Every structure is written in structure tokens, then in C-alpha cells.
Structure 1
Amino acid sequence: MKYTGRITLLIISMMVSIIESFSEPTTTWSILEAILFAAIAASLGWVYDKAIYYKNRAEMSKNRLSNLLKFSPEPIFVYQDEKIVFVNHKFEELVRSSSDEILGKSIFECILPDYHPIVKKRLNEIHNGNKSLNRVELKIKTTHNSILDVEISSAPILYNDKPAVEVFMRDVTKRNRLEEEVRKNEELYRFITENTTDLISFLNHNGYYEYLSPSSKDLLDFNQEEMIGSHLFDYLHPDEVEKVTALLLEADSELDFAAFSHRIKKKDGSYIWIETNARTIRKNSRKLVGIVAVSRDITERLEKEKRLHDANVMLRYISNMDGLTGIPNRRCFDEKLQEEWKQLKRNSSPFSAIMIDIDFFKKYNDFNGHQAGDECLRQIASVLKDTLKRPGDFAARYGGEEFVILLPETDKQGAAHVAELLQANVKNLNIPYLSNVIEPIVSISIGCSTLIPDEKTKPEDLIKLADIELYKAKESRRNQLIFNQLSHLA
């Protein structure tokens, strides 16, 4: 109890005074003596109570300190007389050792040698009464020889009534590794952005530039500072605004990545083509923060692609054209026949073909020479091409002195009309044979056919039929047009 000593001694003093009153007469002096004795007893009791009080407080403080050290969430050890005298469970976990293996050892056994001077200096400062010491980082080794980065703070304490140093530790190995990774990534990112020839940029959610790599100078002749704070649309070609606006609107809601080509303005006002890969940056709420874009100049590539495309178009044109007559060749004709057949088969439309052969062409070559023969072929090919008026009609050199005409969506009457025009137009060329033995001018024989493409027929059937009719025309008298067994004399 709080007043135990004072009450006990006061009672004892009162009992002594009462006993003395029975053996001696009561006088003023005896009363004063009793009062003095009671006062002395009360004072001694007060001293006793205070001693007990402070003893209990000391024991409570010691217990609290012990519990604080023992149950702290951070690793703690106490260093006293150049050895470790206490470790908590967290410290045992940190160094992967039991307290039996740690207690009694020097702190320098687990700290790497490079950090010994720092620790010695800190211990000296604590012994000299410096209590305001900042945290420091050290490297320690565990019993498994793994190296840990730790951050420590320390303070002087009394441990078992003797001066000691209390050391708090925090494992910062993972944090330091992450910081190192971040530092390496930042250096790598800086190296890439400052040395790449591609333009790396960051635009905020409103489309304003907040960062551009130094390559903006090489690519667009703009310095970074000139473009930062300006809007993307300030540099876009007018024809690209609609497309890029649609992408920005889509990026604001759901688009995460886009790759597209567009034109962008240089400082001199000219435009170049760039290919951009853009990725959105979002908060956890999916709200758009900005857009990271990597752009590459593809102007030269596109020009090469255009030249290659033009060359391919030219090669295809050359491969499909007859070099002598300037009209499509047999290869082109075969492709056109298949293409038109499929289309007309779907529509169940009539398809007509006209086969043409120059009469007595071998004799014409023999009499007039091959150069004259070539010129004759060119003139007739030109007439055939010019006679056809519809875009879908097609004329080609079939081989030697033979030509073929394809007439999509044309019936027998239409094909016969075209064939008669062809004969008349060739005759009007008035190409002389220069011989009285044969006909005075060059003429042609024609065979025609018409089919409606279906599952039972093939494209080759149309040509075969026209070829049969051509053969009949040449066998009869030549300079004839044969169509479905009907002979039309030119």
C-alpha cells in the first residue's frame, strides 16, 4: 500500500506512548515526548514508503524496457561492454541465428569491415553523450553468409543498471534493390531517350506535349523547349487531324495501344511521314493520365515502297502486255477469263467470246517480210482495241496472228454486232497484200460463242466453242464470221 510504512510506525509510536503512560505520571514533557516520537515515526514511515515506491517504479521501468526490447516489431539488440547482451526475436530472424549463437559476440563480427569505422565513431559519440544521431546504413552478414542492407538508429540506455547502447535495425535490402533497379532503369531510359533517333514524347490527357526526346531537333528541327507546352495539333498535317482526333477520343475511354502513320510538320513548314506507336498511361481508376509515343521517320521508306510499288505495277503491266501489239497477252487473258466467269456465274449473265484470225497471214509475211507483218499485227490490234467501247470489254493477243475478245454481259446479238464492226474496221485499214495472187487487202475471220456460266460449264468451254466457229469460218472461204452455225458474209 502507498502509506504502509507511515501508518505502521505511527501505530507503534502510539502504542509505546500508551504503555509509558501506565508506568509514569503524565506530564507536559511526556506528552511532548510522545508527540515528537510520533512525528519521528511518521517521517521514518514516509521515507520507507518513498523507498518502496521508487523501487517498484524502477522494477516497472525495467520490465517495460524489457518488454519493449523483446516485443518490438523491429530487430533490436543491446550492446554493452563491447559485446551483445540482448537480442529480440526479430533480430534472430533477421540474421537467421538464435540468441545463444549471438549473445556475447562483438557487433563487429556481423558488420562488414568497410563499415567498422562508421560504427566505432558512432559508439564513441554515444559514450560522449551525443543522443541526437541520425540513421545510418550498413551492410551485415548473416550466418548463411548472405549480405543484408540495414538502416540503424541507436541511443544510450541503462541495461541492468549499467550503461549500454540500444540499437534498432530495419532491413532495407529490398528497398535498396528496388531503388537500384529504378536508378538503372532511369539511366537506361535517359540513355535511350537521349541517344535514339526515334522521337519519344509524352502528351498529357489533353494532347499537350510535356516531354520530347532530344531527337526532335534532328527529326523536326524543333528544340525540345520549343515544342513542350504546345499541342499535338499544332504540328499535324490538316488531313491527319480527323484520324488522330478519333484515336484520342478512343484513348480517353478504352484504347490502350495504337500504331498508325501520319504526317507531321517540320520547322521549315514541310511535312514528313512518321510511324507512331502510342500507349496510354492510366490511374488505377482507368482515368487517362497521358500518352507515351515513339515515332519514327518513314518518309524515305514510303518513297522506296512507292517506287517499288510503281516498279511492281510496271512489271505486272509488262508481264500482262504483248510487247509487239501493246494489248494484253495470253497470260493476262487467262486471268481475265477466270475473273469474269466467276462474276457472271454469280449473276447468271450471258458471256460472249470472239476469236479472230488474220487471213493468209503466213503468205503476207512471206511476200512482205516480217517487219511488215509486225506492223500489220499492230494496226489490227489497235483497231480491235478502239472498236470496243465499254470499259468491261477486253481484247488480247491469243498467239501468232490470233486475237480474242471477251464481252461480259453480252448476248449473241450483241456479240455478232461487235464482230461485224471488227471485220468492217479491219477492212477499212486497207492494208494491201501487194500481190495479185490473193485478196487485195488484209481481212480477218471470226468465230463467236455465247454461254451463260453455270455449274455444268467451264470458262474453257466458251473459248473452245468460239475456236470451233473460227475454224469453220477459215475452212469455208475466210473473211467470214461464223456464229452458232450461221454464216454472215462480210
Structure 2
Amino acid sequence: MKYTGRIILLFLSIMVSIIESFSEPTNLWSILEAVTFAAIAATLGWVYDKAVFYKHKVEMSEISLQNIFKSSPEPIIVYQDEKIVLVNDKFEELIQLSSTELIGKSIFHYILPEYHPTFKRRLEEMCEGKRSLERIELKIYTHQYNILDIEIASAPFVYNDKPAVEVFMRDVTKRNKLEEALRKNEELYRFITVNTTDLISYLNPNGHYEYLSPSCECLLDFNQEEMLGRNLFEYLHPDEIEKVKTLLIEADTELDFASFSHRIKKKDGTYIWVETNARTIRKNSRDLEGIVAVSRDITERIEREKKLHETNVMLRFISNMDGLTGIPNRRYFEEKLQEEWNRTKRSTLPFSAIMIDIDYFKKYNDFNGHLAGDDCLRQIAIALKETLKRPADFAARYGGEEFVILLPETDKKGAAHIADLLQANVKKLNLPYIATKKEPIVSISLGCATLVPDEKMRPDDLIQLADIELYQAKKSRHNQFFLNQLSHLA
């Protein structure tokens, strides 16, 4: 109880006074003596009660301090007389040493030397009674000599009736590493965006520019301020707006990355080709937050590819054409034969071929010379080609004075009709064997064949059959055609 000492001593003094009143007569002096004795007893009781009160308060303070140490999520030490006198378990975990190994040591054993002056100044301020909420950062060693970044706060207080400093610590090693990595990334990003020749942009989900790198001025002649807040579609070529709209719709739901080529408008109204790599930025809810795009000028590459394509087309054309007659050569013929054979085989339609040979061409060369012979080949090649009217019909020089005609989806009757036209058109050229005479004129012999392609036959079977018919035509009589071993005189 709060007044226990005073009550007990006062009660004792009253009892002594009552006992004395039985042995001595009561007078003024005895009354004054009893009052004085009671007052002294009350004073001594009060002193006793105060001593008990302060002792209890100290005990409670120590218990509270111990509870704070134990419950604190951060490391704490008490520093007194230049040594550690108390630590909590979090500090033990941080330094990787037990309290028995830490108590009595100087904190400077664990602080890197370059931070000693900073910590000494803080201790001096605490000893002078100064209080500061400012945190300072230090680097400390652990038992394994790992170096940690520590942020500390401190406050002066009394421990065991003596001045001491309570030091609160926080391990900020990971935070500092993250901040350093972020700083480096920001510097790298800033360097890239400022110095790259590619256009780096950030668009909101509606396609409006929220950021553009300075390179937009070099690439498009627009400065950043002119394009910020404007919509991407204002700069796209009309032919590519739908394609980009589709990509934006897909980006709003599932598309995370896209790479595509498109045209974009410059300030002078002209367009350049760019290759854009775009990646979506999403919120935790997976909703679209924005799009980061990197665009590179590929106009020169597109032009080179276009010229290369044109060159390749020209080279392919040259490689497929006979240099003398200007119609397809045998190489191109073999490709076309395979292609048309496969197509007619799928459709189970008839496929016809006509082999053609100029009659007595060696004699013509001997009479008129090779230049005239070349001209004769050219005129006949043109006549053969112009006889064919359907896009799928094909004429080629097979070799020497031989030509070949492919007639997809054509039966025997159709092939015979074409053979008649070919002979008639060659006759119309009226090319005499001897320039001074009108007879005989140059004529051709033909061999026709028709097959319905199937898995048992090959394309060469058709040509071999037509070649046999040609041989029969030339053997029997020139200036005629044979159709599947049935002779037809011209």
C-alpha cells in the first residue's frame, strides 16, 4: 500500500503513548512528548514509503526497458562509458554474435573506420544532452566480415543511475542496393533516350503520346512539345491505321509484345518507313497502363530490299528466258511442267503437250546463214507464243530448233485444234528456204500427247509420248502432226 510505512509507525507511536500514560501522570509535557513522537514516526513512515515507491518505479522501468528491447523489430543497443552494456536479440542476429560476446565491447569495433568521426560526434551530442531526430547512415562489419548499411537514431537516457545512449538501428543494405540499381537504371535510361537515334515513346491506352525521346526531331522534324498529347494515328500512313488499331485492341486484352513495320509522317508531310517494337505496361490487375515503343528508321533498308527484289525478279526472268527467242527456256519449262502436272492431277483433268520441230532447219541455216537461222527461230517463237490465248497455256524453247507447248486442262481434240493453228500461223510467216524462191517455205512438224495425270505416271511420261509422236511425224513426212499415234496431215 502507498501509506503502509506511515500508518504502521503512527500506530506504534500512539500505542507507546497510551502505555506511557498508565505509568506516568498525564500533564502538558507528556502530551507534547507524545505529539512530537507521533510526528517523528509519521516522518519516518513517509521516508520509508517514498523509498519503497522509487524502488518499485525503478524496477518497473527496468521491466519496461526489457520489454521494449525484446519486442522491438529493430536492433537496439545501450552504450555507456564507451562500451556496450545491453543489446537485444535483433542486434545479435544482425552482428551474428551473442550478447555475452558483445557486452563490454566498444561499438567502434564494428563500425568501419571512415565512419568513426560521424558516430563520435553523435555520442558527444548525446552526452551534452542534445536530442536529435535526424538519422545517420553508417557501415558496420558482421562477425563474418560482411559489410552492412545501417541507419541509426539515438537518444540519451539514464541506465543504472548513470548517463547512457540508446541506439536504434535499421538494416538498409537491401534498400540502398535497390536505390543504387534504380539510380543506375535511371541514368542508363536517360543516356539511352537522350542519345539514341531511335525514337523511344510512351503512349497511353488511347494511343496518345505521353513521352517522346529527343530523337523525334531528328527522325520526324517535330520537337517533343509538338507531339506530346497528340494521337499516334495523326502521324500514321492511312494504309496502316487499321493494322495499328487492331494491335491496340489486342494490347488492351492480351498482347504483350509486337514488332511491325509501318510508315509515319514527317513534318513536311512526307512519310518514312520505321520498324517499331512495342511492349505493354500493365497494372497489377493486368489492365493496360501504357505502351513503350522503340521505332527505327528503315527507309533505306526498305528501298534496298525493293531494289533487290526488283533485281531478283529481273534475274529470275533472265534465268527463265531463252536469250535468243525471248520465250521461256527449258529450265523454266521443267518447273512449269511439274507445277501444272500437280495441279491437273489434283483436279483429274486432261493435260496435253505438243513437241515442235522446224523442218529442214539445218538446210535453212546452210542456205541462209546462222544469222538468218537465228531470226527464223525468233519469228517462229513469237508465232507460237501468240497462238496461245489462255493464261495457263505455255510455250518454251526446248533446245536447238525444237519447241514445246503445254496445254493444261486440254483434251486431245483441243490439242489437235491448237496444233492446226500453230502450223497455220508458222506458214503465214512465209519464210522461204532460199531468198530468191518462194518455195519451199519454212514449216514445222508436231507431236501431240494427252494424259490424265495420276499417281502411276510422271510428268516426263507426257513429254516422252509427245516426243514419240513428233518422231513419227518427221519420219513419215514433214509438215504434219501426229496425235497419240493417229496421223493428221497438214
The TM-score by the shorter chain falls in which range?
A: over 0.9
Which residue number in structure 2 is paired with residue 419 of structure 1? 419
Q: How does 1:18-167 map to 2 (within 5 A)?
A: 18-26=18-26, 34=34, 37-167=37-167
1:211 aligns with 2:211: yes
Q: How does 1:223-242 map to 2 (within 5 A)?
A: 223-242=223-242
- How many Å apart are 1:33 and its aligned residue? 5.5
> Which residue identity does 1:197 align to in structure 2?
T
Equivalent-residue separation in structure 2 for 1:248 and 1:283 (angstroms): 16
Deviation digits for residues 91-137 of structure 1 (CA, Å, limit 9, x no counterpart)? 12212222333322222222112112111211111122211241000
> Which residue identity does 2:301 align to in structure 1?
R
3-state SS, counterpart of residue 51 of structure 1: helix
Which residue number in structure 2 is paired with residue 483 of structure 1? 483
TM-score by length of 1: 0.96
Deviates more, 1:453-462 or 1:102-111: 102-111
Equivalent-residue separation in structure 2 for 1:249 and 1:458 (angstroms): 51
- How many Å apart are 1:70 and its aligned residue? 4.5
1:305 aligns with 2:305: yes
Deviates more, 1:460-469 or 1:128-137: 128-137
Identical columns (%): 75
Equivalent-residue separation in structure 2 for 1:435 and 1:83 (angstroms): 128
1:262/1:345 CA distance change after superposition, 3 Å = same
1:192 aligns with 2:192: yes
> Which residue identity does 2:272 align to in structure 1?
I
Q: How does 1:307-386 map to 2 (within 5 A)?
A: 307-386=307-386
Equivalent-residue separation in structure 2 for 1:42 and 1:121 (angstroms): 50
- For structure 2, which runs of at least 5 residues remain unmatched after alignment? none
Partners of 1:469 and 1:483 within 8 A in 2: yes
Deviation digits for residues 414-446 of structure 1 (CA, Å, limit 9, x no counterpart)? 110010001001001101111789952100011
Equivalent-residue separation in structure 2 for 1:391 and 1:173 (angstroms): 78
1:439/1:479 CA distance change after superposition, 3 Å = farther
Partners of 1:259 and 1:278 within 8 A in 2: yes
- How many Å apart are 1:40 and its aligned residue? 4.5
Equivalent-residue separation in structure 2 for 1:152 and 1:104 (angstroms): 20
Equivalent-residue separation in structure 2 for 1:407 and 1:64 (angstroms): 107
- How many Å apart are 1:259 and its aligned residue? 0.9
Partners of 2:9 and 2:42 within 8 A in 1: yes
- How many Å apart are 1:72 and its aligned residue? 2.6
Which residue number in structure 1 is paired with residue 287 of structure 2? 287
> Which residue identity does 1:376 align to in structure 2?
C
Q: How does 1:252-267 map to 2 (within 5 A)?
A: 252-267=252-267
Equivalent-residue separation in structure 1 for 2:343 and 2:255 (angstroms): 40
> Which residue identity does 1:14 align to in structure 2?
I
Equivalent-residue separation in structure 2 for 1:213 and 1:293 (angstroms): 11
1:37/1:100 CA distance change after superposition, 3 Å = closer
3-state SS, counterpart of residue 124 of structure 2: helix
- How many Å apart are 1:63 and its aligned residue? 2.4
3-state SS, counterpart of residue 398 of structure 1: strand
Equivalent-residue separation in structure 2 for 1:425 and 1:458 (angstroms): 31
- How many Å apart are 1:28 and its aligned residue? 6.7
Deviates more, 1:246-255 or 1:183-192: 183-192
3-state SS, counterpart of residue 145 of structure 1: coil
Deviates more, 1:305-314 or 1:67-76: 67-76
> Which residue identity does 1:111 align to in structure 2?
I
1:268/1:435 CA distance change after superposition, 3 Å = closer
Q: CA RMSD in A?
A: 1.8
Q: How does 1:173-192 map to 2 (within 5 A)?
A: 173-192=173-192
Q: How does 1:450-465 map to 2 (within 5 A)?
A: 450-465=450-465
Partners of 2:465 and 2:484 within 8 A in 1: no
Partners of 1:71 and 1:88 within 8 A in 2: no
3-state SS, counterpart of residue 150 of structure 2: strand
1:4 aligns with 2:4: yes
Partners of 1:427 and 1:442 within 8 A in 2: yes
TM-score by length of 2: 0.96
> Which residue identity does 2:5 align to in structure 1?
G
Equivalent-residue separation in structure 1 for 2:121 and 2:47 (angstroms): 44
Equivalent-residue separation in structure 1 for 2:247 and 2:454 (angstroms): 47
Deviates more, 1:415-424 or 1:191-200: 191-200
Deviates more, 1:144-153 or 1:331-340: 144-153
- How many Å apart are 1:466 and its aligned residue? 0.8
Equivalent-residue separation in structure 2 for 1:439 and 1:470 (angstroms): 24
Deviates more, 1:381-390 or 1:84-93: 84-93
- How many Å apart are 1:310 and its aligned residue? 0.7
- How many Å apart are 1:467 and its aligned residue? 0.7
Partners of 1:70 and 1:87 within 8 A in 2: no
Deviates more, 1:113-122 or 1:23-32: 23-32
- For structure 1, which runs of at least 5 residues remain unmatched after alignment? none
Partners of 2:466 and 2:484 within 8 A in 1: no
Equivalent-residue separation in structure 2 for 1:230 and 1:33 (angstroms): 104
3-state SS, counterpart of residue 5 of structure 2: helix
